[in-house]
């Protein structure tokens, strides 16, 4: 790792990393494979203990050959509630349920147990990733939470009493084919503008009954010149007075592709009579968080929503290390990627206009961030 990372000890000393490795090695004879896996995850996550390094860690549901499964659910952390927001058959009736326990352990205790395994730029990265770790039975077993077979979830629903449901895990490939290789977004909802087209890298439309252009930027990747020209034309339309740039679902990509979008939004901010709003959230990460930092520093924009899951300057451009016996893959950052200032100490950018998506708002298909924008800039 030290041969790849530009500053491996920025969050934890080499002495402490070596001590953790020695302690794990000493425990191997009496440990299960899952316990050793969790030990490796914990050591890799120690690198990002002080933040700004959410790329360095072990993401067992993605690349790698260590055999893991997943519960066939999608979870989201609303404030202090872990909520089931989507489910495969036969568990569809659990959608909208709040998970209150796993294997008889209070959910707060389970979240505390997985916290040291999670790579992070900041606390928002943890809020994003923690629900994904909760779904992996091998992670739970490695933490001493449960054994083989189905996982017992204590759940509550508004319409009925608390219940305990046994949920059978499915192969990770099947899960990723359903939820995607990351599985970190809310499910698509055609009735909610911001959740309707998350698979499109870049799209835009005029908000109904407004003179505001809504631009959703979901992947930092090079765009064809014709697409950028069309967006420039839409931004320059004399009928448009305000712009909303929504990067809540943008987990990054190619940093080199930032300049084109940044230039268009900065020009709009300078030319338009009303404010330009940037909506951020916990999935705003990596190259997308650099974009927000640059717009915040160099253009007249108002940030709305949740704090970003990415830091404005952070370690990125990861490489993969495959451990030869376990086939676990450790991703290791290779560069310090700079938003505006390489010495920027911030772990995130707090919104100028906070607007948090609550469980109730999600259930009622309300977008508080977009509503806040419309109120301020109709």
pLDDT values of the chain reduced to their tens digit, one per residue, 378 residues: 999 999 999 999 999 999 999 999 999 999 999 999 999 999 999 999 999 999 999 999 988 889 999 999 999 999 999 999 999 999 999 999 999 999 999 999 999 999 999 999 999 999 999 999 999 999 999 999 978 899 999 999 987 788 999 999 999 999 999 998 888 999 999 999 999 999 999 999 999 888 999 999 999 999 999 999 999 999 999 999 999 999 999 999 999 999 999 999 999 999 998 889 999 999 999 999 999 999 999 998 999 999 999 999 999 999 999 999 999 999 999 999 999 999 999 999 999 999 999 999 999 999 999 999 976 555
- At 209 the pLDDT is 86
- At 160 the pLDDT is 79
Q: What are phi and psi of 271, to 5 degrees?
A: -100, -30
- At 19 the pLDDT is 98
- At 212 the pLDDT is 93
- At 376 the pLDDT is 58
Alpha-helical regions (H) of 149-213 = 172-179, 193-196
- At 161 the pLDDT is 80
Distance CA 120, CA 68 (A): 22
Say whether the peptide bond before residue 243 is cis (omega within 30 degrees of 0). Answer: no
Distance CA 29, CA 53 (A): 32
Give start-end residues of each CATH 3.90.226.10 domain in the chain: 193-312+348-376
- The number of CA neighbours under 13 Å toward the Cβ of 271 is 14
Rounded to 10°, the helix 33-46/14-27 angle is 180
Give start-end residues of each CATH 2.30.42.10 domain in the chain: 14-179
Distance CA 12, CA 54 (A): 14
- At 232 the pLDDT is 97
Distance CA 66, CA 331 (A): 14
Please report where in the chains the tokens 């717009």 appear, as a residue: 295
- At 40 the pLDDT is 98
- At 43 the pLDDT is 98
Q: Which CATH architecture has domain 14-179?
A: Roll (2.30)
**CATH fold of the domain at 193-312+348-376:** 2-enoyl-CoA Hydratase; Chain A, domain 1 (3.90.226)
Distance CA 89, CA 257 (A): 40
| Contact by Cβ (8 Å): 199, 367 | no
| Contact by Cβ (8 Å): 38, 116 | no
Distance CA 132, CA 247 (A): 21
- At 307 the pLDDT is 98
- At 275 the pLDDT is 86
- At 378 the pLDDT is 52
- At 375 the pLDDT is 66
- At 147 the pLDDT is 82
- At 126 the pLDDT is 98
| Contact by Cβ (8 Å): 280, 310 | no
């Amino acid at each position: 790792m030290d041969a790849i990372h530009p500053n491996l000890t920025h969050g934890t000393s080499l002495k402490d990393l070596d001590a953790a490795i020695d302690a794990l090695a000493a425990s191997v004879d009496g440990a299960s494979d899952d316990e050793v896996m969790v030990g490796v995850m914990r050591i890799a996550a120690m690198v990002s203990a002080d933040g700004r390094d959410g790329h360095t860690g072990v993401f067992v549901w993605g690349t790698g050959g260590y055999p893991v499964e997943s519960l066939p659910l999608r979870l989201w952390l609303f404030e202090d509630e872990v909520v089931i927001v989507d489910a495969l058959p036969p568990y569809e009736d659990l959608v909208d349920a709040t998970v209150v326990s796993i294997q008889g352990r209070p959910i707060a205790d389970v979240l505390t147990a997985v916290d040291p395994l999670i790579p992070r730029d900041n606390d928002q990265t943890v809020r994003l990733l923690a629900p994904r770790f909760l779904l992996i039975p091998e992670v739970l077993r490695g933490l001493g939470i449960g054994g083989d077979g189905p996982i017992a979830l204590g759940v509550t629903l508004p319409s009925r009493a608390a219940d305990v449901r046994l949920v059978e895990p499915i192969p990770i490939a099947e899960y990723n084919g359903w939820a995607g290789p990351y599985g970190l977004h809310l499910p698509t909802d055609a009735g909610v503008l911001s959740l309707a087209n998350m698979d499109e890298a870049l799209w835009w439309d005029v908000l109904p009954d407004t003179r505001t252009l809504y631009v959703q930027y979901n992947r930092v990747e090079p765009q064809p010149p014709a697409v950028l020209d069309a967006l420039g034309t839409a931004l320059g339309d004399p009928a448009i007075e305000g712009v909303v740039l929504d990067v809540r679902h943008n987990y990054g990509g190619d940093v080199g592709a930032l300049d084109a979008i940044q230039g268009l939004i900065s020009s709009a901010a300078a030319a338009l009579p009303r404010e330009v709003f940037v909506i951020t959230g916990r999935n705003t990460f990596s190259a997308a968080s650099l974009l927000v930092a640059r717009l915040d520093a160099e253009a007249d924009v108002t940030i709305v929503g949740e704090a970003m899951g990415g830091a404005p300057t952070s370690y990125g451009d990861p490489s993969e290390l495959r451990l030869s016996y376990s086939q676990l893959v450790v991703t290791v950052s290779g560069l310090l990627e700079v938003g505006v200032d390489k010495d920027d100490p911030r772990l995130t950018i707090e919104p100028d206009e906070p607007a948090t998506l609550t469980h109730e708002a999600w259930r009622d298909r309300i977008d508080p961030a977009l509503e806040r924008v419309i109120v301020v800039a109709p």
